[in-house]
Amino acid sequence: MKTVKQLSSYEMIWEIVRQIPKGRVATYGEVATESGFPGQARLVGYALHSLPQHGGVPWQRVVNAQGRISFPRGSSAYARQRRLLRAEGVIFQGDAIDLQRFGWLKAFRR
C-alpha cells in the first residue's frame, strides 16, 4: 500500500515529466533533481511505473543517463517507447539518443 508521502512525491515527479516538451527527453536523474529528489533516479522509475492509465504523463520522454531506453531491447515496451519518441521527432543513433541535441534541460538552459 502506498503512503501519502509516496503519492505526493509521485505527483511531483509526474508534474515535472508533464513539462518535458514533445521532441525532447530527460533522464531519470534529471527528473529526480527537478522534482526535488536529487540522487533518487529510481524513485522516478517507480513513479512512472505507477502511472494511472491515460494519466496524460508523457512517460516515454524519460530515458536513462546514457540516452537509452531502459526497457529490455526487443521487448514490446522498448519498441513502444522507441516508436513514440520517433513519432515526436527524436532521432536515435543506434540505441541511443543524443542528449546534447534532444535533452530537455540541456536545451532549456542554453
Report the CATH number at residue 31: 1.10.10.10
The pTM for the full model equals: 0.89
Q: Residues 70-91: pLDDT tens digits?
A: 999 999 999 999 999 999 999 9
Alpha-carbon distance of 14 to 35, in angstroms, equals 9
Cα–Cα distance measured from residue 101 to residue 62, given in angstroms and rounded to the nearest whole number: 15
* Residue 4 to residue 8: CA distance in whole angstroms: 6
Average confidence score pLDDT of the chain: 91
Domain residues for the domain of 14 are 4-108
Does residue 63 sit in helix, strand or coil? strand
pLDDT at 52: 86
Q: How many separate domains does the chain show?
A: 1
- Please tell me whether residue 26 adopts helix, strand or coil conformation: strand
